[in-house]
Amino acid sequence: MTTTDPTPLILVIDDDEAMRRSMAFLFASVGLETRAFETASAFLEAFPEEPQHRPGAVVLDVRMPGMSGLELQRLLVERGCALPIVVVTGHGDVPMAVAALKAGAFDFVEKPFKEQHLLDTIEAAIRASRERLARGARRRTLEDRLARLGKREREVLDRLLEGKPNKVIAFELDLSIKTIEAYRASVMTKMEAGSLAELTRMVSEVE
């Protein structure tokens, strides 16, 4: 972990107080920050919106009073939650955990679990979370670069992506080839692309 990398945040929702304390202690032992909640409603009250730009994971118990873990998972998915969701389940709830996976959960851990197995699962979830955050940051960067393009630059870019040569673009836009070359160079500079292939990849990540 680098000095600029925020400490991962693990959000635990489990109605078993002993289990909450155990998981919080376990995660703290490896340098992870944990916030634990007894019910889904308590969690939603504390986090009406997902923590932004911070890696982590949500750990959900399947059976809880009020809103169940699976119901909370569905709600989080509907909200577009980017944090990986790890479902913790008792032996009899394995079919529910499988249903959770099909609904988008990252993984499930069956009780009673080995501490190292849970840690390995959470570490994998954190890696996935970091990768998703990195992709999101890159997408925002590319969107900002595209937004800096002027109208003519965007027209040239669109035609470059269609594979059209400069002379065809010049004809279509009723401009000189030298002008098109200047716009093309400006597009490459603003997008910070070293080649047309790289430029194509950049735009494909956004659109």
Which residues partner with 13 through β-bridges?
37, 60
pTM: predicted TM-score of the whole model, two decimal places = 0.76
Same domain, 155 and 96: no
pLDDT for res 110: 86
Same domain, 59 and 119: yes
Q: Is residue 91 part of a domain?
A: yes
pLDDT for res 50: 66
pLDDT band at 91 (very low <50, low <70, confident <90, very high): low
Asked whether residue 201 carries a pLDDT value surpassing 60, the answer given is: yes
**How many Cβ atoms from other residues are within 10 Å of residue 1's Cβ?**
11
Q: For residue 188, what is the domain's CATH number?
A: 1.10.10.10
Q: Is residue 29 part of a domain?
A: yes
Higher local confidence (pLDDT), 1 or 109: 109
**Domain count across the chain:** 2
Same domain, 15 and 40: yes
* Sequence-distant (≥ 6) Cβ neighbours of residue 162 within 8 angstroms: none
pLDDT for res 131: 92
Most confident among 53-67, 73-87, 100-114, 146-160 (mean pLDDT): 146-160
Q: Is residue 3 part of a domain?
A: no
Q: Among 117, 138, 159, identify where a domain stops.
A: 138
Name all contacts of 44-52 with Cβ < 8 Å and 24+ positions apart: 44/72, 44/75, 47/11, 50/76, 50/79, 50/81, 50/82, 50/83, 51/9, 51/83
pLDDT band at 102 (very low <50, low <70, confident <90, very high): confident
Same domain, 95 and 19: yes
Asked whether residue 6 carries a pLDDT value surpassing 90, the answer given is: no
The mean pLDDT value for 199-204 works out to 94
Q: For residue 36, what is the domain's CATH number?
A: 3.40.50.2300
Domain that holds residue 191: 148-206
State the chain's mean pLDDT as an integer.
89
Same domain, 134 and 152: no
Share of the chain above pLDDT 70, in %: 95
Same domain, 62 and 87: yes
Rg (CA), the chain: 24
- Min mean pLDDT across 62-66, 129-133, 135-139 is at 62-66
Asked whether residue 3 carries a pLDDT value surpassing 50, the answer given is: no
